[in-house]
Copies of this chain bind each other. A is one copy, B any other.
Amino acid sequence: MSARGDIMEEFTVEVVSVGNELLTGRVVNTNASWLADRITRLGGLVKRVTAVGDDVEECSAALKEALSRKPKLLILTGGLGPTFDDRTLESLSKAVGLELEVNHEALRMVEEKYSGDLTPPRFKMARLPRGGKPLHNPVGTAPGCAVEADATTVIALPGVPSEMKAMFDLHVEPLIAGRARGAYTYRIIKVTGIEESSIAPIVDEVMKMGRGVYVKSHPKRDAGFYINVEVSSRAPTIEEAKRNVDEACRLLRELVAKAGAKAEDA
């Protein structure tokens, strides 16, 4: 896929979201889309997003599978808290074969939050896979955790969005920014007066430009029928990605006009 993989060695990322509420549909996985947006803008390439329940077997199986695909970074969200169902680090420990043990730096972080009053549920939050590095949580109480597993850096973040976001900024963004080398941008062109099977040859034509451009049509039926054409590019620099998108959009508009349809910025 030219816009997603053939330009340079990619900084590949997988996201695993943990929580029954994602599998009953009560909660929409906006954590995953927030992360995917941020990672993509930083030049990383998200290859897969997986949601599993609060179950050690299910979660550790999903983690093992993700690790077998050797992404450079694996981000987990959810299940770091003090209650019985928070079992992400137990699952991670099982997946990477590193026993859970009390981490003294993590214990110090938790102690600080509770002025030293360490009940068992609080103590639980200080148990990390052996050799794991605790990550300061500036918003809530549970520390995050970074573990090196073969080809992959695994980062576990809480599921509470405000905590997850603050910790991403603090601990994950510098890591990606330092290692990812790509840039990504996209633009949406709204096309009316043509239907999707007739825009297909136009999309093919624009794709032939190559140069890391990817074109995808999204039919919309929310207010009459139209097609949002998403033109994106991954390139070594953001300037180049923008230039690629500009050129592709110019050609797209030209071909749409030739076909007697109308193109405008969405």
Contacts and interface: CB of A to CB of B under 8 A. Distances in A.
Interface of A: 1, 3-4, 20-30, 32-40, 46-55, 58, 62, 65, 81-85, 114, 119, 121-122, 125, 139-141, 160, 162-163, 184, 186, 195-201, 203-204, 207, 214-222, 230, 232
A21 B65 contact: no
Given A4-B55, A58-B47, A197-B122, A216 B23 contact: no
B54 A48 contact: no
Contacts of A26: 37, 186, 230
A233 to B, nearest CB: 12
A222 B39 CA distance: 24
A27 B54 CA distance: 25
Nearest to A17: B49
B141 A196 contact: yes
Contacts of A214: 20, 85
A168 to B, nearest CB: 12
A83 B196 contact: yes
A221 B198 CA distance: 49
Contacts of A184: 24
Nearest to A114: B197
B48 A23 contact: yes
A244 to B, nearest CB: 15
A203 to B, nearest CB: 5
B203 A84 contact: yes
Of listed A85, A198, A203, A220, residue having the most chain B CB within 10 A = A85
